[in-house]
């Protein structure tokens, strides 16, 4: 409590008055409509922080070769597309449900896929070399603009209450 008093010396002579001001300030702001814009700004900043944190965690997971964590941060479409492509490469040598289980458990094919991915993509490109800028945010979709030599749009999707990386949606070319 001592640090609280020192950090807010509103009125040293009357502690009750100081605390009353602190407690009534939100009511005062609400009555002038300032709070709505402040709350929207705070909500937007919190949302931006969650989006950026999820994307950054994905690239850090790749760098640290924590592929299970990276897999968990991918959008549903990205996970499905990666499994579909791997299944196509294996040409029926494995049951698709077994392949899904192996990917979800971090099996051999899963590790092969991600090790190959990281050999061809340096996560530090996104983590250390790119300039990150928040793009448009909608209810369940957002864009992070990564600038290195040009701009790349990293699509983010809110699924199951979490922001997830749309790796496929961002970087795969359409067939």
pLDDT in tens, 64-108: 999 999 999 999 999 999 999 999 998 879 899 999 999 999 999
Question: Could you count the other beta carbons within 10 Å of the beta carbon of residue 28?
Answer: 11
Q: Is the pTM of this model over 0.85?
A: no
Helices (H), the chain: 2-7, 15-31, 34-63, 67-72, 76-90, 96-105, 108-120, 124, 167-171
Q: Which two tokens stand for residue 93?
A: 């040598």
CA angle centred on 67, ends 69 and 97, rounded to 5° = 95
Q: 164 in helix, strand or coil?
A: strand
Alpha-carbon span 65 to 168, nearest angstrom: 19
Instruction: Summarize the confidence of residues 130-155 as an average pLDDT.
Output: 94
- CATH 3.10.450 for the 35-171 domain, yes or no: yes
Does residue 157 have a pLDDT over 60?
yes
Q: What is the pLDDT of residue 91?
A: 83
- Statement: residue 22 has pLDDT above 80: no
H or E segment at 165? strand 162-166
Cα 10 from Cα 16, distance rounded (Å): 11
pLDDT digits (tens, 9 = 90+) for 38-56: 444 445 688 999 999 999 9
Query: What's the pLDDT at 92?
Result: 77
- Residue 64's contacts (CB-CB under 8 Å, 6 or more residues apart) are none
Spell out the domain ranges in the chain.
Answer: 2-32, 35-171
| Residue predicted with more confidence, 29 or 167 | 167
Average pLDDT, the chain: 81
Q: How much is the average pLDDT of 126-134?
A: 94
């Amino acid at each position: 409590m001592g640090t609280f008093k020192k950090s807010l010396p509103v009125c040293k002579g009357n502690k009750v008055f100081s605390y009353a001001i602190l407690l009534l300030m939100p009511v005062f702001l609400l009555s002038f409509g300032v709070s709505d814009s402040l709350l929207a700004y705070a909500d937007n900043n919190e949302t931006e922080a969650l989006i950026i944190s999820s994307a950054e965690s994905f690239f850090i997971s790749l760098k640290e070769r924590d592929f299970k964590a990276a897999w968990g941060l991918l959008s549903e479409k990205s996970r499905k597309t990666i499994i579909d492509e791997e299944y196509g490469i294996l040409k029926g040598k494995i049951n698709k449900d077994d392949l899904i289980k192996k990917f979800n458990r971090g099996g051999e094919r899963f590790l092969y896929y991600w090790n190959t991915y990281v050999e061809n993509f340096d996560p530090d490109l996104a983590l250390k070399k790119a300039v990150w800028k928040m793009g448009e945010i909608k209810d369940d979709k957002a864009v992070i603009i990564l600038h290195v030599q040009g701009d790349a749009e990293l699509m983010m999707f809110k699924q199951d209450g979490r922001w997830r990386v749309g790796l496929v949606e961002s970087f795969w070319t359409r067939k």
